[in-house]
């Protein structure tokens, strides 16, 4: 995606473009993008860096400060005075970050709160087939993964704050619907699946909220802070929201489930509504930031016609791309539910492939494509393939380990949450370690280590007996596989940042985020088909374990494939770089 640049800052005879968030714009972890600094020039051609600004600093004609004290404080704090026109107070800044950082907390809550009480939900929904449970999880990730690119473009045009708040509000309303699905009457067998259908619809709608929140929440942080230690630390904290949510959300949900599981969805809705109303006041208004003012002026002047607006949004590309990915995922998941012998499943799959081909053709001629094809090359393909394999492996692991806890080992949701809790400490340690080593050993090596962690972790749980002590393979599985998650995302983002041209930096993390969410949903659909085929009609613990292991073995294959792809990437792309250096 081509990101719109922030406003230009004028000082006397200088024209300076402040640095903005590029590769991390649509990511969800705490790594700072590796982007070149932007500097302006005097009229005689002498470079003028940001650090030389000491007076008459203007943002859209508004004097921000004219004293050296302003520059000293800016260098100390690394806050984005250039973008906001004036500094936030400490209390305002803390409130701002607390609100925006929920963009990496509540989306994970939406996933894990359903996962940890899936058996309770299934009992009340009348969902008896394993593939139905897979759909409840895969549908959420499918919506998130397919809509992120378009959501980022909408934020570019209509403002990040607006789209962030709309995403929270949408997420809240769809969470209310998920809880109210319990009230759908189940009177006869004819309506036996009505409750399940409503809840599944709510899950699909829920995914739209995070798709709007994630890219625009990250963009808000990106345009609020200039590159530096402060920004890097805040993005690290932002990244730590994911493992924190993976434990906090199931724990709270499990407590609500002791009373009634719909309370958990209504509680999430209340939290999201609170974030929405708080964001209205603590997030700087778009009209007060130079970026949003220029965007709105541009919209008002250039997008009068509906055709121009469609071209700016690349609606045709979005329609074909989203529909194509959606049809393919539906076909794979539905094939595991009803069987591949049904003709309509094959028709949906072929239709999805055709739409994806149409998307490529549309992007070649689009004025502002969602994915500029010239930004794609062999190296980008290697990186995305490795990421897709790794996170497909993780999606299979995370779904089936909770079933392993609760179905085969008989754990309650609270006990299962306790068993899963090591990922919290391990995730934070991995996120901090990544920040220290990624610039020392290189992102390609970090990516290879991530795929190795994915593979080893899922192998441990795939070979664990039902009656084995938790502290053996299950505990170490949770410790190790979390490193794969927290190492792979920043590594992939930086690798793509190095592989694409400067004008396409904004596409790097957006592609990674899309692949992360979509590959997990896609792999989970295939894993459901494998589970169904391997276990057959068996209902004994041994049969169910055999089905789970069949799915996990697919995950092992994906992890090992990603590991080999990462090694090939190092051999093909990293060695020439070292020789050149």
DSSP structure string for 153-201 = HHHHHH-HHHHHHHHHHHHHHHHHHHHHGGGS---SGGGTTHHHHHHHH
Q: Considering the domain boundaries, does residue 456 fall inside one? A: yes
Total count of domains within the chain: 3
Tens digit of each residue's pLDDT (9 = 90 or more) over 369-387: 878 777 777 888 888 899 9
**CA distance linking residue 132 with residue 520, whole number of Å:** 16
Tens digit of each residue's pLDDT (9 = 90 or more) over 510-528: 788 888 888 888 888 888 8
Mean pLDDT of the chain: 76
Q: Considering the domain boundaries, does residue 157 fall inside one? A: yes
Does residue 17 register a pLDDT over 80? no
Q: What is the residue whose two structure tokens read 């690119």?
A: 149
* Same domain for 58 and 89: no
Secondary structure class of 48 (helix, strand, coil): strand
Between 335 and 455, name the one with better pLDDT. 455
Mean pLDDT for 322-343 is 76
* Same domain for 275 and 218: yes
- Please tell me the predicted confidence (pLDDT) of residue 503: 57
Between 316 and 350, name the one with better pLDDT. 350
Mean pLDDT for 527-538 is 80
Contact 54, 71 (CB under 8 A): yes
- Please tell me the predicted confidence (pLDDT) of residue 12: 35
Does residue 110 register a pLDDT over 50? yes
Mean pLDDT for 486-500 is 78
Instruction: Select from 286, 305, 324 the last residue of a domain.
Output: 305
Tell me the two tokens of residue 102: 């929920």
Between 75 and 388, name the one with better pLDDT. 388
Contact 155, 219 (CB under 8 A): yes
- pLDDT more than 70, % of the chain: 74
* Same domain for 381 and 516: yes
pLDDT range class, residue 305, cuts 50, 70, 90: low
Q: Which of 232-236, 320-324, 386-390, 542-546 has the lowest mean pLDDT?
A: 232-236
* Same domain for 77 and 89: no
For residue 430, give its domain range: 371-581
Instruction: Select from 84, 101, 122 the last residue of a domain.
Output: 84
* Same domain for 91 and 32: no
Between 168 and 301, name the one with better pLDDT. 168
Contact partners, residue 84, CB within 8 Å, separation at least 6:
59, 224, 284, 288, 289
* Same domain for 393 and 301: no
Q: Mean pLDDT: which of 76-90, 184-198, 285-299, 385-399 is highest? A: 385-399
The predicted model scores a pTM of 0.77
- Please tell me the predicted confidence (pLDDT) of residue 331: 82
* Same domain for 107 and 69: no
Q: Mean pLDDT: which of 313-322, 356-365, 426-435 is highest? A: 356-365
Q: What is the residue whose two structure tokens read 């974030």?
A: 275
pLDDT range class, residue 71, cuts 50, 70, 90: very low
Q: Considering the domain boundaries, does residue 339 fall inside one? A: no
**CA distance linking residue 322 with residue 11, whole number of Å:** 44
* Same domain for 293 and 145: yes
Q: What is the residue whose two structure tokens read 């709160």?
A: 113
- pLDDT more than 90, % of the chain: 30
Q: Considering the domain boundaries, does residue 3 fall inside one? A: no
CATH number for 578: 1.20.1250.20
Q: Considering the domain boundaries, does residue 229 fall inside one? A: yes
Instruction: Select from 64, 84, 104 the last residue of a domain.
Output: 84
pLDDT range class, residue 41, cuts 50, 70, 90: very low
Tens digit of each residue's pLDDT (9 = 90 or more) over 76-108: 444 444 344 467 777 888 899 899 999 989 999
Does residue 259 register a pLDDT over 60? yes
**CA distance linking residue 482 with residue 457, whole number of Å:** 8
Does residue 361 register a pLDDT over 80? yes
Between 525 and 288, name the one with better pLDDT. 525
Mean pLDDT for 171-182 is 93
Does residue 290 register a pLDDT over 70? no
pLDDT range class, residue 336, cuts 50, 70, 90: low
Does residue 325 register a pLDDT over 70? yes
Q: Considering the domain boundaries, does residue 97 fall inside one? A: yes
* Same domain for 442 and 387: yes
Q: Considering the domain boundaries, does residue 100 fall inside one? A: yes
Secondary structure class of 476 (helix, strand, coil): helix
Q: Considering the domain boundaries, does residue 135 fall inside one? A: yes
* Same domain for 428 and 574: yes
């Amino acid at each position: 995606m081509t990101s719109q640049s922030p406003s230009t800052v004028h000082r006397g005879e200088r024209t300076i473009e402040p640095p903005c968030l590029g590769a991390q714009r649509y990511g969800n972890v705490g790594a700072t993008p590796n982007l070149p600094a932007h500097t302006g020039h005097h009229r005689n051609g002498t470079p003028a860096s940001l650090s030389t600004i000491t007076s008459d600093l203007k943002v859209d004609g508004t004097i921000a400060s004219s004293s050296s004290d302003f520059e000293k404080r800016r260098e100390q704090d690394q806050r984005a005075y250039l973008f906001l026109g004036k500094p936030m107070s400490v209390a305002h800044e803390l409130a701002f970050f607390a609100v925006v950082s929920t963009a990496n907390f509540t989306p994970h809550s939406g996933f894990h709160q359903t996962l940890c009480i899936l058996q309770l939900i299934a009992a009340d929904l009348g969902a008896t087939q394993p593939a139905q449970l897979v759909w409840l999880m895969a549908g959420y990730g499918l919506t998130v993964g397919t809509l992120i690119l378009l959501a980022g473009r909408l934020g570019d045009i209509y403002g990040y704050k607006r789209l962030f708040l709309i995403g929270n509000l949408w997420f809240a309303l769809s969470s209310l619907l998920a809880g109210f699905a319990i009230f759908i009457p189940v009177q006869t067998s004819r309506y036996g699946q009505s409750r399940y259908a409503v809840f599944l619809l709510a899950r699909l709608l829920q995914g739209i909220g995070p798709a709007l929140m994630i890219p625009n929440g990250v963009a808000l942080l990106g345009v609020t802070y200039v590159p530096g230690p402060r920004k890097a630390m805040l993005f690290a904290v932002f990244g730590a929201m994911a493992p924190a949510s993976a434990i906090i959300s199931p724990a709270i949900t499990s407590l609500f489930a002791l009373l009634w599981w719909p309370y958990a969805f209504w509680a999430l809705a209340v939290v999201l509504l609170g974030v929405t109303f708080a964001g209205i006041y603590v997030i700087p208004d778009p009209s007060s930031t130079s970026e949003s003012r220029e965007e709105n002026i541009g919209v008002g002047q250039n997008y009068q016609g509906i055709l121009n607006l469609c071209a700016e949004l690349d609606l045709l590309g979005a329609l074909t791309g989203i529909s194509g990915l959606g049809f393919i995922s539906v076909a794979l998941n539905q094939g595991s539910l009803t069987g591949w012998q049904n003709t309509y499943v094959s028709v949906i799959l072929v239709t999805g492939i055709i739409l994806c081909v149409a998307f490529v053709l549309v992007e070649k001629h689009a004025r502002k494509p969602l994915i500029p094809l010239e930004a794609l090359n062999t190296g980008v393909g290697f990186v995305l393939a490795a990421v897709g394999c790794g996170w497909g492996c993780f999606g299979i692991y995370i779904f089936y380990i909770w079933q392993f806890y609760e179905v085969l080992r008989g754990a309650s949701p609270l006990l299962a949450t306790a068993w899963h809790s090591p990922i919290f400490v391990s995730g934070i340690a991995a996120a901090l370690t990544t920040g220290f080593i990624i610039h020392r050993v290189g992102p390609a090596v970090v990516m290879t280590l991530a795929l190795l962690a994915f593979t080893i972790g899922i192998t441990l749980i795939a070979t664990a007996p039902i009656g084995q002590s938790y502290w053996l393979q299950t505990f170490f599985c949770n410790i190790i596989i979390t490193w794969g998650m927290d190492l792979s995302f920043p590594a992939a983002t930086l690798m793509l940042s190095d592989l694409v041209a400067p004008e396409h930096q904004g596409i790097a993390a957006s592609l990674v985020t899309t692949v992360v969410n979509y590959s997990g949903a896609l792999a989970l659909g295939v894993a459901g088909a494998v589970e169904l085929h391997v276990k057959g009609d068996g209902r004994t613990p041994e049969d169910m374990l055999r089905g789970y292991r069949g799915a996990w073995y697919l995950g092992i294959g994906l992890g090992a494939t990603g590991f080999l792809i990462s090694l090939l990437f190092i051999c093909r792309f990293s060695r020439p770089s070292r020789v050149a250096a």
